[in-house]
């Protein structure tokens, strides 16, 4: 029933000539990462992020597909207080530093928390919000930017993906003619696991399925899948953590094709992970750069870092 309702919403938007279709045919086909040997990740840095990191919290970052926009969440002071809002920083070329961030404003941001922005092709944006009217404390939403008219009213992704628990870290990719949304789900008293929901032909997202080979007995959060569907990163506090307390580390797994199960997850190791907490890693479109948050950061309660291969 919920999938049919979302399908009707999407078809209505098309029929009414609304700025852009939110769900039906919402994204271009992903361009696979070229087959090549991928080296290990290098030492992380904050180079180019001087205008992004502040004494407040910065995290949940992700580049746009063209590499010229960086979306992230921050609780820096703004018009509705210090709740988490989504910001964007831009640059003229991929060789430039990131510019001064701008708050996305309404209807993306509200007095509630908005976080985990996930930009996709076609000016689309998946994100997470604690706004009222969802299925749980924190739900997944989608909006699209029209350069002339701004962001469309966010659409809740429905009960296929969302639940009475808290969803986080959406990651969308297309492979072999199919489209998938990875995310994590859990609550204050529930271990968080990684799930996947497949997009139906009408644009709605189907029932979520737990990814058994990625989930452990501790918390597994905020997955991000490389655009060819063959590599995933996520943060977890499972065994193998760095330091003397169970802080979050970034873990990774691979597979030979998008139809295969994932390999056993491995810790990215001490070059990237530290006794601090590393969370919400996200690939650049070409898979050669990884953005992530570290808490505490040297500047604020959480800072953004970059590592490259």
Domain layout of the chain by residue ranges: 47-308
Q: Return the top range by mean pLDDT from 88-92, 184-188, 245-249.
A: 88-92
Judged against a pLDDT cut of 50, whether residue 23 lies above it is answered with no
- For the CA atoms of the chain, what is the radius of gyration? 18
Tell me what the pLDDT averaged over the chain comes to. 88
Give the pLDDT mean for 187-214: 92
pLDDT confidence bin for 300, thresholds 50/70/90: confident
**pLDDT (0 to 100) of residue 242:** 62
Give the pLDDT mean for 195-219: 95
Give the DSSP H/E element, type plus range, for residue 13: helix 2-15
Judged against a pLDDT cut of 50, whether residue 213 lies above it is answered with yes
**pLDDT (0 to 100) of residue 27:** 43
Question: What pTM value is reported for the model?
Answer: 0.88
Judged against a pLDDT cut of 90, whether residue 52 lies above it is answered with yes
In the chain, pLDDT over 90 holds for what percent of residues? 80
**Which of 44-53, 90-99, 106-115, 238-247 is least confident?**
238-247
pLDDT tens by residue, 224-251: 999 999 999 999 998 766 655 678 999 9
**pLDDT (0 to 100) of residue 11:** 40
CA distance 307 to 252: 14
**pLDDT (0 to 100) of residue 188:** 66
Give the pLDDT mean for 180-189: 89
Judged against a pLDDT cut of 70, whether residue 34 lies above it is answered with no
Q: What is the largest CA-CA distance in the chain?
A: 58
47-308 homologous superfamily: TolB, C-terminal domain (2.120.10.30)
CA distance 19 to 154: 13
* First vs last C-alpha separation in the chain: 45
Among 257, 282, 268, which Cα is nearest to 61's? 282
């Amino acid at each position: 029933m919920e999938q049919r309702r979302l399908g009707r919403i999407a078809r209505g938007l098309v029929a009414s000539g609304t700025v852009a279709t939110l769900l039906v045919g919402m994204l271009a086909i992903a361009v696979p990462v070229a087959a090549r040997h991928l080296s290990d990740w290098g030492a992380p840095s904050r180079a180019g992020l001087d205008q992004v990191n502040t004494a407040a919290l910065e995290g949940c970052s992700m580049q746009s597909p063209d590499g010229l926009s960086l979306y992230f969440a921050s609780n820096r002071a703004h018009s509705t207080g210090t709740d988490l809002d989504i910001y964007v920083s831009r640059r003229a070329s991929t060789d430039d530093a990131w510019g001064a961030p701008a708050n996305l404003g309404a209807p993306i941001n509200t007095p509630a928390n908005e976080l985990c922005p996930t930009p996709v092709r076609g000016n689309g944006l998946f994100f997470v919000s604690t706004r009222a009217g969802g299925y749980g404390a924190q739900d997944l939403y989608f909006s699209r930017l029209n350069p002339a008219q701004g962001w469309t009213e966010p659409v809740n992704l429905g009960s296929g993906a969302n639940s009475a628990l808290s969803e986080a870290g959406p990651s969308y990719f297309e492979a072999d003619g199919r489209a998938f949304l990875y995310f994590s789900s859990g609550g204050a008293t529930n271990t968080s696991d990684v799930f996947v929901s497949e997009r139906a032909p009408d644009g709605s997202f189907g029932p979520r399925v737990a990814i058994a080979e990625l989930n452990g007995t501790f918390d597994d959060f905020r997955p991000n899948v490389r655009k060819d569907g063959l590599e995933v990163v996520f943060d977890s506090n499972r065994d193998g953590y760095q330091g003397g307390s169970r802080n979050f580390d970034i873990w990774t797994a691979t597979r030979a094709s998008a139809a295969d199960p994932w390999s056993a997850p491995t810790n990215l190791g001490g070059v990237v992970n530290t006794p601090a907490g590393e969370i919400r890693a996200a690939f650049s479109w070409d898979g050669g750069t990884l953005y992530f948050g570290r808490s505490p950061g040297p500047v604020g309660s959480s800072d953004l870092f970059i590592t490259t291969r």
